[in-house]
C-alpha cells in the first residue's frame, strides 16, 4: 500500500476509534497456513510434522497399518443461535499421496468437520474417521480422497472423491480421472471445497496446478444446517491397511462467511489465534455527536505518528522488492552462462499444454513430460516441479548442481524456465526410459536387458558415482539412487538423473544431519536411524540397484502365493550363506551370462549393502573391482546385525516427527 493511501486509511481509522462502539459480524473466521507448526494444531495417532509439512500416516513395514489425524486447535463457529444462521465455508489445501510400492496402495485421506477435537478412527478403509467397533460413534461431515476400492463401503473405484455425513457410505462420489487426476500419483494436488448455505450446495475442485478449475469434480445438493453445530473443529485424517501409502498436507487455508451483523457491546477483538481474523463492519457515524476538540487533539497527535509509520512501511517494502529483483537478476546471470533459458510458451507447445498423454515419468519433486520442438525437430524431457512451498528451493538445488556437472553417465541438462509460477527443467530425452521399466516389463515384451547391457549399467553407474563423490570440486551426495532414477540412452548406457534430493558438501567435512529423504528399500540402516546422508549411504543404494540388475527382483516385493514381503538383500544373502548365490541370477536371462561375472556382481552388491557402513567399499574401489583392477571384497556368510544408540539432540519438530526408541537392535530380517 502506498504511503499516501495508507495515511488516508489510518486517519479514517482514527476517526472510527473515537466514534461509538461498532457493529461486528458473528465471527467470520479465516486462517491461512502456508506451512505448519505445533502451536496451532493437534496431532493424533501416527500423524507428525516435518519441515513445515504435515504427515498423516507413517511409512511402516508391510503389512503394518497406520492412521493419523490433524485438527486445527481453535473451534470454529458454524451456527449463530441469535440469528439462526448457518455459516458457509471454503477451504483450499495441497496434498500428496504416494507409495514406494505401486502394487500396495490405500486407503486415502479426508478433510472433515467434527464437533469433537479428539476424532481418531481405525486404519484401513475407515480412513482414520470411524472406529471399526463403533461405526456410529464419531459425528462428522467429510470429503474423502479414496485410493482403494472397498466394497464394504460401496466404493465405485480406487481413485474417487466422495462426500460423507457420519458414514463412510458416501452420499455422492466422482472419479478423479474425470479431471485427469491420479490421487496416488505422488504429484502435488490442490483441492478446493466450497459450501454455500444459501444455495444448499457443496462443490469439490481438484487440480495439479494452483489455478482453480471452472468446473467442479463433485457437486452435491445438500443442506448442512442440521449437521453443522454451533462450534466445530476442522482437520484431516488418513489411513493405510497393510500398505506403505504416505499422505502429506503441504498447506491449508480456511474461511467461514455468511453471518449477518448483530449489535455487540464489545470492541474490536481477535479470535484466539493471531492467524484468525474477525471482520468488522464500519457504520456511518452521526456527525452531530462528534466532539470537535477531541477530534482535533486526536488528529494532532495521531497524524504525524501515522505518517512516520506509513513512510517506514513504504521504505521497508521498497527495500525488499529491490533485494528480490537484485537476487533474481544475479541468479539469471549465473544460469545464463550455462544452460539455455526456455520460454514458457515454447515448453507448453512442445508438451501439448503439459497433457497427461505426454507424461513419461515422475521424479522426486515433479512430473516429466516428453517434448517435441517442431522448429528444431528435436525431442527433450521436461520436468515440471510440483506446486508446493518447497518447489523453488528444490528447483534451484537441482539446477545449481546439474548445471556445473559433466559426465557421460549423467543426464545432460539442456535448459530451464521460471515463468507463470512454474519451475521447469529441460533434459536430453532418453529413448529407453528408466531402468526399472525395462527390468520389470511384462514377459514376452522386446528389449529385455541382456547380460552385457546389465553389466554395462553397473559399470556406468559406478563410474558416475565415483565422479560425484571424489572428482567434483564439491562432493555431491545424490541420496536417491534407485532404478527409477537411472535412465537408458539409445545404446543402453546408464544415465543418472533426478538431483532434487542431492546435497553439495565440501570434501573431508562431516555432512549435516537431516531428516530422511529417499525411497524405502534403498535406504541405508544408519540413514533411516539418524537421517545423516554420506557417500556410504549412496554406496548402499548402489548395492541394492546392482542386486536388482542381477536378480531382476524389486528391493521389497511380495512372495508369490503368500502375503509375506521379501527383502532382496536378505534373500540374496540367504542364498550366499548356503553357497548357492548363483541361484539368485535372473531366470529370464536363461543362463546367458558369464557365471564369474554374475558371481562377482552379486557379491559386490552384498558388500555395498552391508548394514555396517564402515565395511562398505568406496565407489572408486567398486569401479576398480568391476574393471578387474582390484581384488573382490570378502563377504561374510551371514548378514551382520547392528545396534544403534540414540545420542543425537532433537529439535521440537524432530520430536514430533520421529518418536524413536533408543538402543534399537536391527536384526538381519529388519535391515
The answer to whether the CB of 607 falls within 8 A of the CB of 635 is: yes
Half-sphere exposure of 609 (CA within 13 A, CB side): 30
Q: Is 573 helix (H, G, I), strand (E, B) or coil?
A: helix
Q: What whole-number distance in Å separates Cα of residue 114 and Cα of residue 71? A: 10
> Over the Cα atoms of the chain, what is R_g?
29
Q: Are 378 and 431 contacting, i.e. CB atoms less than 8 angstroms apart? A: no
Instruction: Give the phi and the psi of residue 505 in degrees, each rounded to 5.
Output: -150, 150
Q: Is the distance from CB of 603 to CB of 635 less than 8 angstroms?
A: yes
Task: Answer for the pair 600, 593: CB distance below 8 angstroms, yes or no.
Answer: no
Which grid coordinates belong to 458? 553397473
Q: Which of 480, 538, 586, 654 is catalytic?
A: 480
User: Rounded to 5 degrees, what angle do the CA atoms 512, 516, 520 make?
Assistant: 145
Establish whether 480 is a catalytic residue: yes
> If we measure between CA atoms, which residue out of 73, 114, 113, 77 comes closest to residue 259?
77
Contacts of residue 65, Cβ cutoff 8 Å, sequence gap at least 6: 123, 124, 239, 240, 241, 242, 243
Residue 598, phi then psi, degrees to nearest 5:
-65, -45
Helices (H) and strands (E) in the chain, counts: 12, 35
Distance of CA 103 to the CA centre of its chain: 20
CA distance 645 to 281: 60
Residue 88 φ/ψ, nearest 5 degrees: -90, 165
Phi, psi of 620 (to 5 degrees): -65, -40
Q: How many other CB atoms sit within 10 Å of the CB of residue 222?
A: 16
Q: Is 383 annotated as a binding residue?
A: yes
Nearest-10 crossing angle of helices 292-336, 3-17: 150
- Residues annotated in the binding site for ATP, as ranges? 383
Residues identified as active-site: 480
Amino acid at each position: 500500500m502506498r504511503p499516501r493511501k495508507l495515511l488516508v486509511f489510518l486517519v479514517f481509522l482514527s476517526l472510527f476509534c473515537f466514534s461509538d462502539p461498532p457493529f461486528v459480524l458473528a465471527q467470520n473466521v479465516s486462517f491461512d497456513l502456508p506451512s505448519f507448526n505445533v502451536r496451532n494444531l493437534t496431532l493424533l495417532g501416527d500423524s507428525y510434522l516435518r519441515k513445515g509439512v504435515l504427515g498423516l500416516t507413517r511409512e511402516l513395514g508391510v503389512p503394518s497399518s497406520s492412521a493419523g489425524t490433524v485438527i486445527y486447535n481453535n473451534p470454529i463457529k458454524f451456527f449463530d443461535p441469535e440469528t439462526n444462521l448457518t455459516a458457509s465455508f471454503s477451504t483450499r489445501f495441497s496434498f500428496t499421496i504416494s507409495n514406494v510400492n505401486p502394487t500396495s496402495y490405500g486407503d486415502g485421506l479426508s478433510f472433515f468437520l467434527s464437533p469433537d477435537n479428539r476424532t481418531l478412527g481405525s486404519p484401513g478403509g475407515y480412513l482414520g474417521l470411524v472406529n471399526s467397533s463403533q461405526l456410529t460413534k464419531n459425528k462428522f461431515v467429510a470429503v474423502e480422497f479414496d485410493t482403494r476400492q472397498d466394497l464394504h463401503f460401496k466404493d465405485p473405484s480406487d481413485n474417487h472423491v466422495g462426500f460423507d455425513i457420519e458414514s463412510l457410505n458416501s452420499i455422492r462420489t466422482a472419479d478423479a480421472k474425470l479431471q485427469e487426476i491420479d490421487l496416488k500419483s505422488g504429484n502435488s494436488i490442490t483441492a478446493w471445497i466450497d459450501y454455500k448455505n444459501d444455495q444448499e450446495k457443496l462443490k469439490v475442485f481438484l487440480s495439479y496446478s494452483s489455478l482453480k478449475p471452472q468446473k467442479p469434480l463433485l457437486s452435491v445438493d445438500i443442506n448442512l444446517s442440521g449437521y453443522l453445530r454451533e462450534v466445530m473443529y476442522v482437520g484431516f485424517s488418513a489411513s493405510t491397511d497393510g500398505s506403505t501409502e504416505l499422505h502429506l498436507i503441504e498447506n491449508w487455508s480456511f474461511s467461514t462467511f455468511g453471518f449477518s451483523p448483530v449489535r455487540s457491546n464489545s470492541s474490536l477483538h481477535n479470535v484466539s489465534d493471531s492467524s484468525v481474523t474477525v471482520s468488522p463492519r464500519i457504520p456511518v457515524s452521526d456527525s452531530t455527536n462528534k466532539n470537535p476538540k477531541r477530534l482535533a487533539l486526536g488528529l494532532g497527535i495521531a497524524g504525524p505518528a501515522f505518517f512516520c509509520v506509513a513512510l517506514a512501511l513504504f521504505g521497508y517494502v521498497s527495500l525488499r522488492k529491490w533485494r528480490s529483483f537484485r537476487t533474481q537478476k544475479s541468479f539469471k546471470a549465473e544460469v545464463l552462462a550455462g544452460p539455455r533459458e526456455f520460454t514458457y510458451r515454447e515448453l507448453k507447445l512442445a508438451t501439448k499444454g503439459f497433457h497427461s498423454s505426454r507424461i513419461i515419468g515422475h521424479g522426486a519433486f515433479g512430473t516429466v513430460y516428453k517434448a517435441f520442438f517442431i522448429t528444431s525437430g528435436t525431442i527433450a524431457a521436461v520436468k515440471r516441479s510440483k506446486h508446493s512451498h518447497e518447489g523453488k528451493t528444490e528447483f534451484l538445488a537441482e539446477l545449481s548442481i546439474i548445471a556445473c556437472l559433466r559426465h557421460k553417465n549423467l543426464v545432460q541438462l539442456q535448459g530451464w524456465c521460471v515463468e507463470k509460477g512454474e519451475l521447469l527443467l529441460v533434459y536430453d530425452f532418453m529413448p529407453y526410459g528408466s531402468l526399472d521399466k525395462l527390468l520389470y516389463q511384462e514377459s514376452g515384451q522386446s528389449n529385455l536387458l541382456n547380460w552385457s547391457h546389465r553389466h554395462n549399467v553397473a559399470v556406468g553407474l559406478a563410474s558416475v558415482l565415483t565422479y560425484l563423490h571424489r572428482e567434483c570440486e564439491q562432493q555431491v551426495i545424490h541420496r536417491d539412487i534407485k532404478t527409477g532414477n537411472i535412465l537408458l540412452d539409445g545404446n543402453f548406457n546408464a544415465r543418472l538423473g533426478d538431483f532434487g534430493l542431492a546435497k553439495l558438501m565440501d570434501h573431508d567435512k562431516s555432512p549435516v544431519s537431516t531428516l530422511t529423504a529417499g525411497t524405502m528399500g534403498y535406504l541405508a540402516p544408519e540413514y533411516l536411524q539418524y537421517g545423516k546422508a554420506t557417500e556410504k549411504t549412496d554406496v548402499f543404494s548402489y548395492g541394492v540397484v546392482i542386486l536388482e540388475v542381477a536378480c531382476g527382483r524389486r528391493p521389497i516385493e511380495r512372495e508369490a502365493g503368500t502375503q509375506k514381503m521379501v527383502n532382496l538383500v536378505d534373500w540374496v544373502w540367504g542364498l550366499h550363506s548356503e553357497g548357492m548365490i548363483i541361484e539368485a541370477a535372473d531366470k529370464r536371462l536363461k543362463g546367458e551370462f558369464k557365471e564369474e561375472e554374475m558371481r562377482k556382481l552379486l557379491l559386490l552388491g552384498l558388500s555395498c549393502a552391508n548394514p555396517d557402513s564402515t565395511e562398505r567399499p568406496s565407489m572408486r574401489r567398486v569401479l576398480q573391482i568391476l574393471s578387474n583392477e582390484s581384488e573382490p571384497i570378502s563377504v561374510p556368510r551371514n548378514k551382520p546385525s547392528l545396534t544403534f544408540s540414540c545420542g543425537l539432540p532433537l529439535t521440537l519438530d524432530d520430536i514430533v516427527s520421529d518418536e524413536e526408541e533408543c538402543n534399537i537392535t536391527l536384526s538381519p530380517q529388519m535391515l
